């Protein structure tokens, strides 16, 4: 959708920006469920509504977050590892990303 701006509600100026809407994707499965600590495993994300998400955005990423114990302190939580890795659309129901190294557990 093209974005235009007006100061008076009548005279609109083309901003040359585009805004895209997409349905929130639904993640149904991740394959495989685990991999080596060295990373480098391809993760296949299976779900619905991936095609519009990948079309509308320039970059889609997988976020890998270190799992903390239930009794983790605020300081430990603040230092929690988070890594963002590019995700690539395979088809309307499948995306792929590669696991980063160095996580002993995560989501």
Q: What is the pTM assigned to this prediction?
A: 0.66
Instruction: Give 6-42 pLDDT, tens digit per residue.
Output: 899 899 999 988 877 777 889 999 999 988 888 999 9
CA atoms within 13 A of residue 105's CA, in its CB half-sphere: 3
Res 28: pLDDT: 95
Indicate the SS3 state at residue 89. strand
């Amino acid at each position: 959708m093209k974005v235009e701006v007006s100061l008076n509600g009548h005279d609109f100026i083309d901003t040359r920006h585009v805004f895209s809407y997409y349905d929130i994707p639904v993640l149904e499965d991740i394959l495989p469920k685990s991999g080596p600590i060295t990373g480098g495993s391809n993760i296949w994300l299976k779900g619905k509504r991936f095609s519009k998400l990948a079309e509308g955005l320039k970059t889609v990423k997988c976020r890998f977050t270190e799992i903390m114990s239930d009794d983790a302190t605020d300081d430990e939580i603040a230092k929690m590892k988070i890594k963002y890795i590019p995700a690539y659309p395979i088809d309307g129901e499948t995306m792929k990303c590669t696991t980063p190294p160095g996580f002993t557990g995560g989501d």
